[in-house]
């Protein structure tokens, strides 16, 4: 007949039967069957004696002494972060007089209420170059504007003190953004301009599709991650709150961007890791590994940004920031971006490596720190390859239009890499990648030392547990 099967598909032996060992002897603890964690009395796994010990449930607690050691390191660090938040906390973004340039414009919401076609020549008469020269892009655009039909859109302002006011906008036939009736738009308001020119369309309203996409993302995280997914979303919201209400206003107020980034990133790290993975020694080791890697990234970034003479002021947006707030250290702002940008991927690497070490220790409690490190570092090497590739492709994707411009100009690879715009991305990518690579051996070594420090206690408990298990089977 063979052994009976329980509802969790593991063998159940009769009381008088003695199960055959399957080659390895496991430490006392809950039987895990085929990977699922169940609470059973200590002793060998029933039936199939090779029940996999690497369940993905909570890690076994470490000794009180180790908890005290970890707390002695993390409590001062968390206290320093809290003090930094209090000292650097801004009173809000400092006020300034709007320039009307780029994002520094007063905007309102609007809606396209009507669109009619008109002859382009009747609305673009003033745009024809006097010489009719079409050898320049501007001349060609002006000539093309005299041909074909243009759209004359009537826009109604739907927010602000002049809600209900209407104005017209001419849309050229070759314009990248065409307007249609009923479409929501963003309009810029220039109070100092003549009344007929005070409003203009600057963008379309994308709030609905973005909100739907965010809802799909949140639903997917909750469905797959369940309660841990919910906690991850809460941590994500808190991270954005720290970024919006602390990091950005503090930098605008003139605080050192590097100090603000370190304090803000540390706060985000503590909140995200402990909320998503629980208050445990495993999470604490991941926090320590992340902290050491962030320090390395900050040090390398500071050295190479200064050595490469990167100013951080490379485009219209950074130029506008420097013009509005000349006291901001733009190179420090670049370094702050490197640190904050590396934090998310660092969390992933350090948590993965810590979990790998813990699971290996649970599978073989007799394995020493050196054996744990060697086994876990093999997992880390696979992780390194994928994560570094992810960072490089992420930065390359963000800079794709810029790289396309260099390709159009037929610039050499050396010329492209030497330009400050690309050099910033190279330094950002390589510094972040070095920190990621270093986080694997650092976190793995820390985790191996922590879990193996309890090996003596575990070994002392193991023989008694095994004898207890044999006595139970003999009854």
Sign of the Cα torsion 85, 86, 92, 96 reads: negative
CA–CA separation, 290 and 302 (whole Å): 18
Strand, helix or coil for residue 117: strand
- Kindly report the backbone phi and psi dihedral angles of residue 283, in degrees, each rounded to the nearest multiple of 5, phi listed first: -65, -40
- CA dist 345 to 74, 128, 207, 472, Å? 21, 53, 28, 48
Calculated CA dihedral for residues 349, 354, 355, 361, nearest 10 degrees? 150
Give the residue from 205, 117, 120 showing the smallest Cα distance to 157.
205
The model's pTM? 0.67
CB atoms within 10 A of CB 255: 20
Residue 383: pLDDT over 90:
no
Span 83-115, pLDDT tens digits? 999 999 887 666 666 655 556 678 889 999 998
Cα–Cα distance measured from residue 53 to residue 76, given in angstroms and rounded to the nearest whole number: 35
Per-residue confidence (pLDDT) for residue 267, from 0 to 100: 92
Q: Are 429 and 301 spatial neighbours (Cβ–Cβ below 8 Å)? A: no
Tell me the torsion sign for CA atoms 111, 116, 117, 123. Answer: negative
H or E segment to which residue 5 belongs: strand 4-5
Residue 379 has pLDDT above 80, yes or no: yes
Can you tell me the distance from the alpha carbon of 462 to that of 469, in angstroms, rounded to the nearest whole number? 10
Question: pLDDT-derived band of residue 215, with 50, 70 and 90 as boundaries?
Answer: very high
- The confidence band for 253, taking pLDDT boundaries of 50, 70 and 90, is confident
Containing H/E element for 201?
Answer: strand 199-204
Instruction: For the chain, state the CA radius of gyration.
Output: 31
Enumerate the domain spans of the chain: 1-49, 72-90+227-464, 106-204
Tokens 């694997």, residue located: 440
The mean per-residue pLDDT over the stretch 158-177 comes to 86
| Pairwise CA distance, residues 182 & 303, whole Å | 53
Of 44-53, 95-104, 131-140, 320-329, which gets the smallest average pLDDT?
A: 44-53
Q: 149-165, pLDDT tens digit by residue?
A: 788 889 999 988 889 99
Q: Where are the alpha helices (DSSP H) in 155-279?
A: 207-242, 248-252, 257-277
Strands (E), 78-198: 106-119, 149-157, 166-171, 184-189
- Contact of 293 with 435, CB cutoff 8 Å: yes
Stretch among 184-188, 225-229, 328-332 having the lowest mean pLDDT: 328-332
């Amino acid at each position: 007949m063979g052994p009976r099967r329980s509802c969790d598909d593991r063998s159940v032996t009769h009381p008088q039967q003695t199960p055959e060992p399957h080659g390895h002897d496991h430490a006392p603890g809950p039987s895990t069957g085929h990977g699922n964690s169940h609470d059973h009395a200590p002793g060998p796994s029933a039936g199939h004696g090779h029940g996999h010990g690497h369940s993905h449930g909570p890690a076994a607690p470490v000794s009180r002494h180790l908890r005290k050691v970890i707390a002695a390191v993390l409590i001062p660090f968390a206290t320093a972060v809290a003090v930094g938040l209090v000292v650097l906390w801004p009173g809000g973004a400092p006020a300034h007089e709007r320039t009307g340039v780029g994002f520094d414009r007063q905007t309102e919401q609007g809606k396209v209420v009507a669109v009619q076609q008109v002859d382009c020549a009747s609305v673009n008469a003033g745009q024809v170059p006097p010489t009719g020269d079409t050898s320049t892009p501007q001349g060609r655009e002006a000539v093309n504007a005299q041909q074909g039909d243009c759209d004359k859109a009537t826009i109604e302002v739907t927010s602000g003190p002049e809600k209900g006011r209407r104005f017209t906008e001419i849309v050229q036939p070759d314009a990248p953004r065409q307007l249609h009736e009923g479409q929501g738009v963003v309009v810029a308001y220039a109070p100092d301009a003549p009344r007929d020119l005070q409003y203009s369309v600057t963008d379309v309203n994308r709030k609905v599709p973005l909100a739907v996409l965010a809802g799909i993302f949140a639903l997917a995280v909750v469905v797959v991650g369940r309660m841990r997914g919910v906690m991850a979303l809460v941590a994500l919201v808190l991270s954005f709150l720290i970024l919006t209400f602390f990091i950005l206003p503090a930098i605008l107020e003139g605080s050192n961007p590097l100090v603000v980034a370190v304090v803000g990133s540390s706060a985000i790290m503590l909140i995200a890791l402990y909320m998503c993975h629980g208050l445990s020694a495993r999470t604490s080791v991941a926090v320590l590994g992340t902290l050491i890697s962030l320090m390395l990234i900050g040090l390398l970034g500071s050295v190479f940004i200064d050595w490469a003479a990167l100013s951080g002021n490379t485009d219209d947006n950074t130029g506008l920031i420097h013009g509005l707030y000349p006291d901001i250290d733009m190179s420090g702002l670049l370094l702050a971006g490197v640190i904050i940008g590396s934090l998310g991927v660092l969390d992933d690497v350090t948590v993965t490596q810590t979990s790998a070490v813990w699971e290996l220790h649970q599978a073989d409690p007799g394995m020493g720190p050196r054996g744990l490190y060697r086994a876990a570092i093999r997992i880390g090497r696979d992780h390194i390859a994928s994560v570094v590739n992810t960072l490089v492709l992420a930065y390359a994707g963000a800079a794709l239009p810029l790289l396309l411009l260099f390709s159009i100009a037929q610039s050499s690879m050396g010329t492209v890499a030497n330009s400050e715009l690309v050099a910033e991305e190279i330094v950002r990518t390589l510094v972040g990648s070095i920190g990621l690579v270093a986080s694997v051996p650092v976190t793995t070594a820390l985790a191996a030392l922590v879990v193996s420090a309890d090996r003596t206690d575990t070994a002392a408990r193991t023989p008694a547990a095994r004898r207890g298990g044999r006595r139970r089977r003999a009854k």
